[in-house]
Structure 1
Amino acid sequence: MNFKKLIAIIAVVGIVIAGIITFYVYNKAFTANTTFNQKEVFVYVPSNSTYEQVKEIVSPFVKDMDKFDFVAQKRDYASNVKEGKFLLKKNMTSFDIVRAMKSNVPVKLAFNNQETLGKLAQRLATQMEPDSTSLMKAFTNPEFMETNGFDDDTILAMFIPNTYEFYWNTSADKIADKMASEYKKFWNEERISKALNKNLTPIQVSVLASIVHKETAKIDERPRIAGVYLNRLEQNMPLQADPTVIFAMKKASGDFDQVIKRVYSKDTQGTISPYNTYINLGLPPGPIAMPDISAIDAVLNAEKHDYIYFCASVDRMGYHDFASNYAAHQVNARKYAEWVTKLGINR
């Protein structure tokens, strides 16, 4: 065999081998390797997970784990596991899956008005890695509260209901720090100035806003109700807010899941609590719920009027009837009491 033929044979063999290797690598790394029919799924890798644990987590979504493992080893993922929330899409290749497992996807953390810090922690724990116990510990850390100007009664005011962006595996302490930062950002110079013009601190605004929030779900009515309470504060009258009595009753029983639709004189006069604004002048020591932004801004931009009374309306569902004197208020209150009695609402 002459030299040229030998070279040709070697070249052909080399091409064949290269083709086999190329096909092998392509088949391992660049063919669809998912099992799910949904357009996309999210997988969660807890903190301090090992590569073996990651394989267990992704295995329900990966058709051929050998292919995934091959690429993970070649791409140095096996020794550099990433923690967090990751997005996998239908028909991803092993190469795509490993690349996706290196890109932590932010979580849109959302919460609405909660009555207690415990309920907030439970809500957040369903969206983030830290459990409710860790979150409560971070939120109520004495040093953290003191540094940010809160105490056990007022800490709920720090949480402004909204949507915030976090990584799923963000620690409880960092979540607390972020919430404190967002609170300070929310209370800009304009809002602080409006609060001071009403002789209120930002926390006091939140306390009053929590009452306004509980009084009505009608956002367009909140500035008027806020105006009533500000008039009462200015005249040194008790706020006499039923939601504060309900909160006091729930707090005393430890059951915040109970539903109380009607408040009686025995409740307003017999519930001994600093949160009962029928027997205590001024604002309660802390928010009775987490007010949303519309309630806070309703206090800051309260309607100016001479109303000092209001009662749920029986003609405009969800709204209230307002009065400037007690006689007019008695007419409205009697109408409402007769209506709820007729409906059989006893508690």
Structure 2
Amino acid sequence: MLEVVNTTTIVTELGLDPAVDRHAEFAAELRTGLARVEEKLQEVLRSPGHPELTEAATHLVRAGGKRLRPVMALAGAAFGDGRGDPISAAALVELIHVATLYHDDVMDEAPMRHGVTSANSLWGNRKAVLIGDYVLACAARVGAGLGDYALRSQAQTFGRLVRGQFLETTGPFEDCGRHAPYEHHIQVMADKSASLIALAGRLGAQVSGADERTIETLGRYGELIGVAFQISDDVLDISASTTDLGKSAGTDLREGIVTLPMLHALDDEGPGAGRLREIIGHGPVSDPMIRQEALGLLRESAGVVRALAEAHGYAAKARDLALSLPDRPARALLVGLSAFVVDRGE
């Protein structure tokens, strides 16, 4: 996983050439900015006089993570004129993301998140839902300080996040045609994952005074990168170990969620695909032994390869958009990020 607060990793993973002075300077600024975001997250989530709430609300923040959304916000801010408060913008999008993780873990009954025990396992589902709500309230407070654009964008994005979760839970309607499952899943990824990454780039640029074209381009870039990133995540849920993931492998199978690599695998012919249809067709795969069988069949199928090919397609479009932005070090980072999000799934 990407440790974004490490300058060396920023340079090697995200395409910033250390031999170029302005790249090295930007990498150092990014590291400083991310450290300030971490401080801001702890500050905003602190509930004076209520240590248990503070501990629970900061539990997943302290566990770490890729911090992809703050990176996007700070990269977006680098295309502005230096005004505004990009640290708060970066903290805002990460707070929304963290809140969704608390809620997701309740719905998924997940035992782990970011390599630590999930909040619902520690404090129970009811408290975990309330903790997620509290984090959302903290995000709203930060957004209120960033003006009307931030509040409107935050509300629109939260609506998409909820819609994506709802669509994922209900599944595609059976009478929508043969290709409906694919279209349905792309919509889920766009709403549930890409929308917040797009918000990060747009909001970072907007609060820092970037022009409208740049703000729009960063939003479109974030939508594409978000879908590529989620496809990569779906692949990792199949191919990676629980240790590498920091959460339980095969979560999608356990919850009965059919992802893009699964859809491609189910379209194959042969006994492996037939057995997968038999397993997945019955809904959530709760039996650990059957789940391991399904993971093995998925790893042997062409589904993973086809899904990764689609991820590369989305990432290539994102890269082209990044190259249309002004020539600044942040552009090189976005170009590098378009490769990183798909390479991690291979």
TM above 0.5? no
Give the TM-score, by structure 2 length. Answer: 0.25
- Larger proportion of helix: 2
Between structure 1 and structure 2, the one with the greater Rg is 1
| Relative contact order higher in (CA < 8 Å, ≥ 6 apart) | 2
